[in-house]
Structure formats: C-alpha cells, structure tokens
C-alpha cells in the first residue's frame, strides 16, 4: 500500500492545479471521467444515443489492473509533450515512484500510479488520450470513463476486428494489459456500462440498473439490517438514508423504474423482520399488533403461528400493522418517490 501523508496530498493538489489547465483542453469530447462539467450520466446517455442510431453491438474493453500497470516512462513522455519545466516533471516522477509498504519495508514503485488522490485520474486521462485519438482517427463511436471504454459498432464481425486491433494498440503502444477474459464483443443489453444496462423489449432503448450494482446495494443494506437488530427502528432508518439517497441519485437516469418500487418493498420487509425479531415473545408480538390496529383474535393467531421472521415480515398481518405510511412517518427514504422527484427536476 502507498504511504500517505499530509504533504503527499498537498503536492498532489498543487500538481493537479498546474497540470489540469494545461491538459484539459486537449482531452477528447468522448472522455467523461474525472473532468470538470462531465459525468458518468453523460457517458451513459451518449452510449444510448449510439445504440439508437443502430449500433447494437458493443466492444467492451477491460484494462487489467490499470492503475497498477501504468508504464512510468510512457506516461512521463506524454506529460513532457506539454510540460517543459524540469522541476515539475521531476516532482511528477517522484510522485509516481512513491513508496509502497510491502512486508513492513517501503519499496520504490516501478509501475502504476498511487491511488486515492486527485492526480491519478488526471494522469490516466493524459495517458489514455492516445487511445481516444486513435479511436477518433478510425471514426469509431465510443465513450470512455477513466479506464472503462465502450465502442459501439453495427455488427459482431466489426466488433471483433475492433477488439483485436485495439488490444494490439494498447499492449504495444501504451504497454497496458487487456483482460481478455473480461473484454468482449456482445449485445449492449448483455453488458453493463457504469452501472447501467439497457432494456430493448420496446422499440426505444431504455436505460436500467444493471444487476451488479443492485446486488452490491442489497449486500450493503443487509449488513445495515444485521446491525439494526439491537437498535431502535428509527435509528436504522437514519443509517440507511444517506446510502439510499446517494444510490437513487446516481441511477435517476434509468428509464425502467420497477426496480425502485421492488427495492422499496424489499427494504420495508426487512424492517418489519427486524421489528418482529425485537418483539421476541408471542405475548409482546400480540400486544404490539393490537396496538397497531389488528383485532385481538387476529393478533394472537399471528403471534403464535410458529413461522419464522422472514415469512411473517411478508405476511398480511405485518403489512397491515406496518404499512408504508408508518415507515414514511419515521423518515424512511422511498426510492420510488425520490426517483420521481429527481426526474421532475431534470
């Protein structure tokens, strides 16, 4: 790992302030990552435009451990094309070779860039501008976000030719490693780009949330639910709110909105499960169900049904006792409501 310090961060910030105005005007219009006024959402929207134009095959190029494999000499030669100050060049080289802690010993970095600061993304854009210009020279339609690059073509055969030639270009010209197992030529709806994929069941291309970010969110929420077993339910809801707001804000550009409604129901079910566990004994469960509006007979029948917490959390008695409006009152973020609010603002 890299040895961090306040001085390192200050040096990175200073170098970024010097280099960014020099290189930013030279970057490609197809480069969206870590640039002022540009975003992942713009890249995804541009990718959809390419698909709507009839380019229904994507060349998904995966660079293997990009930030760990950057060749220092090649990168420095690109920097030196526009930076002539030897002191600045020496400082950048020193930053690239910053110590790595391995087995208690600090070793000089031979390749790759330190991560975690503002400078590495800028340097990656400087290096990969060569790739952008090569793709532009060949007339390709593409989107690149840092080391994530997708090229959109009309046929599988064209895509295979592009992937083969780009693999040679990247490995020969830039000394970068292409992960052949993860790179592919495929239909866009079978791949994902920056967390999005597409739905083509209708004539128009519709963006939707890909499976991997959905599963990552569920895994993170399950961890929060486990931590919430011994807490007041409103504390658990408070803990969930920032994560839910951030997630729906990123995926607000999705056109397929069913996932937000499904997640809302899934989250409420988990919260009902937490409460059912906390109530523990049949007497407490019956008392709480009656307090929440169920009849005495139904409350006792539900409290003594012998079923597990997950089954009960999806059953009608808990849905009636703890409807959506109860969770709304304690501040649970509704992904569906947030999605519609954000959509109305765009």
pLDDT above 80: residue 115: no
pLDDT of residue 13: 87
Q: φ, ψ for residue 102 (rounded to 5)?
A: -130, 115
pLDDT, tens digit, 9 for 90 and up, residues 299-346 = 999 999 999 999 999 999 999 999 999 999 999 999 999 999 998 887
pLDDT, tens digit, 9 for 90 and up, residues 47-86 = 999 999 999 999 999 998 888 888 999 999 999 999 999 9
pLDDT band at 6 (very low <50, low <70, confident <90, very high): low
d(CA 187, CA 159): 10
Percent of the chain with pLDDT over 90: 80
pLDDT of residue 284: 97
Instruction: Please compute the mean of the pLDDT values over residues 263-269 and round it to a whole number.
Output: 98
Cβ neighbour number for residue 241 with a 10 Å cutoff: 12
pLDDT band at 113 (very low <50, low <70, confident <90, very high): low
pLDDT band at 7 (very low <50, low <70, confident <90, very high): low
Contact 122, 34 (CB under 8 A): yes
């Amino acid at each position: 790992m890299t040895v961090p310090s306040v001085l390192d961060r200050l040096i990175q910030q200073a170098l970024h302030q010097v280099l960014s105005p020099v290189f930013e005007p030279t970057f490609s219009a197809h480069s969206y990552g870590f640039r002022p006024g540009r975003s992942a959402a713009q890249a995804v929207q541009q990718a959809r435009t390419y698909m709507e134009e009839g380019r229904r095959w994507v060349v998904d190029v995966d660079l293997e451990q990009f930030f760990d494999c950057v060749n220092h000499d090649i990168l420095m030669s690109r920097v030196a094309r526009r930076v002539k100050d030897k002191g600045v060049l020496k400082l950048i080289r020193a930053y690239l070779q910053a110590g790595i802690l391995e087995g208690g010993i600090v070793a000089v970095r031979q390749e790759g860039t330190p991560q975690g600061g503002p400078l590495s993304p800028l340097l990656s854009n400087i290096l990969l501008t060569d790739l952008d210009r090569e793709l532009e020279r060949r007339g390709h339609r593409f989107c690149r976000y840092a080391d994530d690059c997708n090229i959109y073509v009309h046929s599988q055969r064209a895509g295979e030719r592009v992937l083969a030639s780009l693999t040679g270009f990247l490995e020969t010209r830039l000394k970068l490693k292409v992960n052949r197992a993860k790179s592919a030529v495929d239909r866009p709806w079978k791949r994902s780009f920056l967390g999005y994929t597409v739905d083509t069941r209708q004539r128009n291309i519709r963006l939707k949330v890909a499976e991997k970010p959905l599963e990552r969110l569920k895994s993170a929420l399950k961890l929060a639910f486990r931590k919430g077993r011994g807490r007041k339910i409103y504390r658990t809801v408070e803990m969930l709110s920032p994560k839910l707001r951030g997630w729906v804000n990123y995926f607000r550009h999705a056109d397929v909105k069913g996932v937000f409604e499904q997640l809302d129901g899934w989250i409420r079910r988990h919260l009902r499960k937490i409460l059912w566990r906390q109530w523990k004994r049949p007497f407490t469960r019956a008392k709480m169900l009656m307090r929440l509006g169920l009849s005495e007979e139904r409350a006792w029948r539900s409290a003594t049904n012998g079923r597990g917490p997950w089954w009960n959390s999806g059953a009608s008695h808990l849905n009636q006792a703890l409807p959506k409006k109860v969770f709304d009152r304690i501040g649970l973020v509704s992904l569906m409501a947030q999605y519609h609010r954000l959509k109305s603002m765009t």
